[in-house]
Amino acid sequence: KPYVAGGERLMDANVWSLFREMENGRLRVKALALRSELAKYGLASEDKVRKTWETSIEEVMKLGNGVHVKVTDVRFLNVYCIVEMEVSRGNGEAPS
């Protein structure tokens, strides 16, 4: 489930900063968070962060808006966690 400690949604936890860029016709999104903040939600490993993001993304994609999101990388770097994603419409084109 996309919920973490206390039933709070990971995406509503206000711990993430998002950055967007276009690369090769695809929208790439990077989410940055402090590892110490993630630990408060029980997300102390790259695998747990990846699984939580993927579950949250699955819930959004069930809405059927034609957007596809794929987690391409999750890394812990010093005090930060970086999650990289690729976003595209069902036809493979970047969203407008």
From first to last of the 96 residues of the chain, give the pLDDT tens digit.
445 544 456 655 678 898 999 877 778 999 999 999 999 888 999 999 999 888 888 877 787 777 788 999 999 999 999 999 998 866 555 454
Q: Looking at the chain, which runs of residues are DSSP E strands?
A: 17-23, 26-34, 67-77, 80-89
The CATH number of 5-89 is: 3.30.200
The single residue listed with the structure tokens 């770097």 is 77
76: helix, strand or coil: strand
Instruction: Tell me the domain boundaries of the chain.
Output: 5-89
What's residue 1's pLDDT? 43
What's residue 31's pLDDT? 92
Task: Enter the pTM of the model.
Answer: 0.79
